[in-house]
Chains A and B, each alone.
Chain A
Amino acid sequence: MPETNDVTAAWIEETIRLQGGVAIPSELLPRVLLAVREHQEGMSRFREAGIDVREVFPAQVYRAIRSEP
């Protein structure tokens, strides 16, 4: 996946085509482009924070939050 600023409408259309996804109507491409860039920016911030999730097991969420007072 390209860096945030390199994500373009053309890249989105090509990616959807290669993945066999649902084609995006041209009028919605600007909104989808915005959403993809926001997602990219957020994930970049997350990676830069260096939080290690390799040892984190995604169990049923209530098992993670159950706590004794």
Chain B
Amino acid sequence: MNLAFAAIEEVAPAIARGEMSPVELTRAVLRQIETLEGRLNCYITVLSDAALVEATQAEAEIRSGRYRGPLHGIPVAIKDNLETAGIRSTAGSKILADYLPAEDAPVVARLRAAGAIIVGKTNLHEFGMGATSVNPHYGASRNPWNPNLITGGSSGGSAAAVAAGMALAALGTDAGGSVRIPAALCGVVGLKATHGLVPIRGCLGASNPTVDHIGPLTRSVGDALLVLRAIAGPDPRDPTTEGVPRLPNDLDLGGGIAGLRVGIPTMHYFDGLAAEHETLVRASIAELGRLGATLVDVSVPDHAVLLDGVAGLNSERLAYHGHWMRTRLPDYSLDVQASLLAAQLIPAGDYATALRVRRLLAERYASVLRQVDVLAMPTVVTPAYPVADAEMPTADSLLKENPPLARNTRLANLTGLPAISLPAGFTESGLPVGLMLMGRAFAEGTVLRTASAFEAATNWHRRRPPIAGQAGDSGESG
């Protein structure tokens, strides 16, 4: 067994019993990073020495009987737009290339408190403002299933690292799909909980605190729940978490989904998919039916024009970036520059309208989710495509139409609803595709239980990228 591909839920009991060494586990992950980082570019900063010190401390604590829980001694990665005390946190930007935060983001502090070992800070699309993770400042992150292809983004480095055994889990951020898009394209699990469940303070470049989320990327649904448990909960300095229900302690991933009602949206979600891709996703949804769920077509009235009406929200990013736009505009990549500059032309009235339209959209999704328990759909409209097609942005390339990678994912951000992407099959060329499940607000338990039942029935999550096996003793592992 290659320890770098261990599932947290499987190794944690062995660590607790002192039968598995956090130091050896961390060394296995660092070996994987050393071997593959040159080809995949998952990390902006690797923390090998610090990780080994932390792992040694964790091992000593556990040996002395002070086991903290299932993340104790587990090597994890943190997206580089999350603040880490004394460790540079660039947000994938030139502007913050030397930024050393004074304190950890709450989610990072909570992982540390749970005993996790931080092995590095992962690459991303600059400031999280894009879905390819082609980054002119730190290079493109590369897809482990084919390094010529994009990882998706903006949490591309986190997803690729988890897929390639370069971390057992990672944190990503998600303002329009940035956890779930790369999870789908890299063949891992990506979870965005209901807005407010996980504090977002310490997320750099947050374009809009009402759509930003932080969530785990893992190799199994069970591992996603373990990480979510560690990072969820109110933060007194983060008003988005105020008055939000806590994650129940008794969430049970077992029990199956017999009798569950699964909605299949008839809106845009399947538009434009290649036949092979659509077949895989529809087969995955049919699998939910075989597992006992009732499949029901559902629709949200006026969906397309409501999405037109929320376009004004794009101006919110100006509140964060305005100062640097005036003082350091050339330090942004061209695609981010264009996006920010165009946002200046959004009339204030359109922004005010967008706030109300988003409320309507949320109400209509809530109404649909009174008829069904979860919605099922493709995470992304396309499998991964060549980095060369995404290319480092130039003024000319910005006029080219790229696949709308966030088209399906952004609805869960606009509505705040919980959503998960999980591996749902592979194309003939060996690329993963993702199934996305959306649920009712604060019904993470139902979403995760559905995902877990699908995962147990299919085992797509156990496939490993061929490149990943080259670094260790085996590319196959449970």
Q: Is A19 an interface residue (CB 8 A)?
A: yes
Interface residues of A in 4-47 (CB under 8 A from B): 12, 15-16, 19, 21-22, 24-25, 27-28, 30-32, 34-36, 39, 42-43, 45-46
Q: Is B399's CB under 8 angstroms from A21's CB?
A: no
Contact stretch, chosen from B49-57, B177-185, B336-344 = B336-344
Q: Is B441's CB under 8 angstroms from A65's CB?
A: yes
With a cutoff of 8 Å between Cβ atoms, the chain B residues found around residue A15 in the complex are 345
Q: How far is the CA of A6 from the CA of B350 in the complex (A)?
A: 18
Partner of A53, one of B347, B357, B441: B357
Q: Is A31's CB under 8 angstroms from B342's CB?
A: yes
Q: How far is the CA of A35 from the CA of B401 in the complex (A)?
A: 12
With a cutoff of 8 Å between Cβ atoms, the chain A residues found around residue B340 in the complex are 22
Least CB distance, B440 to chain A, in whole angstroms: 6
Q: Mark B3-36, 1 if CB is under 8 A from A, else 0.
A: 0000000000000000000000000000000000
Q: Is A28's CB under 8 angstroms from B337's CB?
A: yes
Least CB distance, B294 to chain A, in whole angstroms: 15
Q: Is A16's CB under 8 angstroms from B415's CB?
A: no
Classify chain A: how many residues form its interface, as a range: 35 or more
Q: How far is the CA of A64 from the CA of B443 in the complex (A)?
A: 15
With a cutoff of 8 Å between Cβ atoms, the chain A residues found around residue B353 in the complex are 43, 46, 53
Q: Is A51's CB under 8 angstroms from B360's CB?
A: yes
Q: Is B311's CB under 8 angstroms from A42's CB?
A: yes
With a cutoff of 8 Å between Cβ atoms, the chain B residues found around residue A12 in the complex are 345
With a cutoff of 8 Å between Cβ atoms, the chain B residues found around residue A25 in the complex are 329, 337
Contact stretch, chosen from B103-111, B166-174, B365-373 = B365-373
With a cutoff of 8 Å between Cβ atoms, the chain B residues found around residue A56 in the complex are 356-357, 359-360
Instruction: Count B-side interface residues using an 8 Å CB cutoff.
Output: 55
Least CB distance, A15 to chain B, in whole angstroms: 7
Q: Is A62's CB under 8 angstroms from B311's CB?
A: no
Q: Is B326 an interface residue (CB 8 A)?
A: yes
Q: Is A28's CB under 8 angstroms from B356's CB?
A: no
With a cutoff of 8 Å between Cβ atoms, the chain A residues found around residue B275 in the complex are none
Q: Is B359's CB under 8 angstroms from A57's CB?
A: yes
Q: Is B344's CB under 8 angstroms from A21's CB?
A: yes
Q: How far is the CA of A12 from the CA of B346 in the complex (A)?
A: 11
Q: Is B302's CB under 8 angstroms from A51's CB?
A: yes
Q: How far is the CA of A34 from the CA of B346 in the complex (A)?
A: 13
Q: Is B359's CB under 8 angstroms from A28's CB?
A: no
Q: Is B325 an interface residue (CB 8 A)?
A: yes
Least CB distance, A31 to chain B, in whole angstroms: 4
Of A12, A16, A25, A36, most buried by chain B (CB within 10 Å of CB) is A25
Question: Given A30-B399, A32-B338, A39-B345, is A61 in contact with B359 using a C-beta cutoff of 8 Å?
Answer: yes
Q: Is B416's CB under 8 angstroms from A61's CB?
A: yes
Least CB distance, B33 to chain A, in whole angstroms: 36
Q: Is A45's CB under 8 angstroms from B338's CB?
A: no
Q: Is B326's CB under 8 angstroms from A36's CB?
A: no
Q: Is B309 an interface residue (CB 8 A)?
A: yes
Question: Given A51-B306, A51-B360, A53-B360, is A67 in contact with B440 using a C-beta cutoff of 8 Å?
Answer: yes
Q: How far is the CA of A21 from the CA of B448 in the complex (A)?
A: 46
Chain A interface residues (CB < 8 Å from chain B) = 1, 12, 15-16, 19, 21-22, 24-25, 27-28, 30-32, 34-36, 39, 42-43, 45-46, 49, 51, 53, 56-62, 64-67, 69
Task: Name 30 interchain pairs, CB-CB below 8 A, sorted by A.
Answer: A22-B340, A25-B337, A28-B395, A31-B338, A31-B399, A36-B342, A36-B345, A39-B350, A43-B350, A43-B353, A53-B353, A53-B360, A56-B357, A57-B356, A58-B355, A58-B358, A61-B195, A61-B358, A61-B359, A61-B415, A62-B196, A62-B442, A65-B366, A65-B417, A66-B366, A66-B442, A67-B440, A67-B441, A69-B373, A69-B443
A45-B305, A56-B359, A69-B373 known; 8 other A-B pairs, CB under 8 Å?
A: A25-B329, A28-B338, A32-B345, A39-B314, A43-B353, A49-B302, A58-B356, A61-B210
Chain B interface residues (CB < 8 Å from chain A) = 194-196, 210, 244, 302, 304-309, 311-312, 314, 325-326, 329, 334, 337-342, 344-347, 350, 353, 355-360, 362-363, 365-366, 369-370, 373, 395, 398-399, 414-417, 440-443
